[in-house]
Amino acid sequence: MDKELIGEAIKSLELIDIHLYSTSITRFEEISSDNYPEEMGQQNKLSIKAEFLEKEDDSDGSRLIHAKVEFGLRFIEENEESEIKTLAEIEACFIVKYHQLQEVSEEAINEFMQFNVVHNAWPFWREHAFRSAAQAKLPTPMISLFKPATE
């Protein structure tokens, strides 16, 4: 994580919106809040993609950026042979929209995408996963505070 590049992007970007784009809950086994396997665990997923839209005005370098952040978790059970069976999964995709006010390097944008976009969407994912799990009578997921990967 290059804090200088992230700072460069922060000066140029303005958060416009965060919204749920798609979501799914899938059960592969009959589990519910009354019937959890003893050795159940959880795996997490994260994917980030950015779409740079056409420049609004070539003179100042402004443009819209739509970042797509996909989150997921699955409840799993591992047997004695170390085979993993997926019991259920929750997935969600959020769109995070930014207005780029002025020209900024692609390197700074990429660094920003890896940290700030996820940081901005993380509370939305956590709330969505907790609410979805409760409504589906699935286990309460473990979603900690967002911790960026460090090099």
**Residue 104: pLDDT band with limits 50, 70, 90:** confident
112 found inside a domain: yes
103 found inside a domain: yes
Supply the pLDDT for residue 146. Answer: 62
pTM exceeds 0.85, yes or no: no
Number of domains in the chain: 1
Average of per-residue pLDDT across 4-28: 92
CATH number at residue 124: 3.10.420.10
Burial letters for 22-38: b for 16+ Cβ neighbours within 10 Å, e otherwise?
eeeeeeeeebeeeeeee
147 found inside a domain: no
61 found inside a domain: yes
Tens-digit pLDDT profile for residues 114-147: 888 888 999 999 999 999 999 999 988 988 766 5
Do 35 and 81 meet the contact criterion of CB atoms below 8 Å apart?
Answer: no
**148 φψ region: left (φ > 0), alpha (ψ -120 to 50), beta (else):** beta
151 found inside a domain: no
**Residue 151: pLDDT band with limits 50, 70, 90:** very low
145 found inside a domain: no
What's the DSSP call for residue 123? Answer: H
Structural domain of 68:
3-135
Tens-digit pLDDT profile for residues 33-61: 677 877 788 888 888 776 655 455 555 56
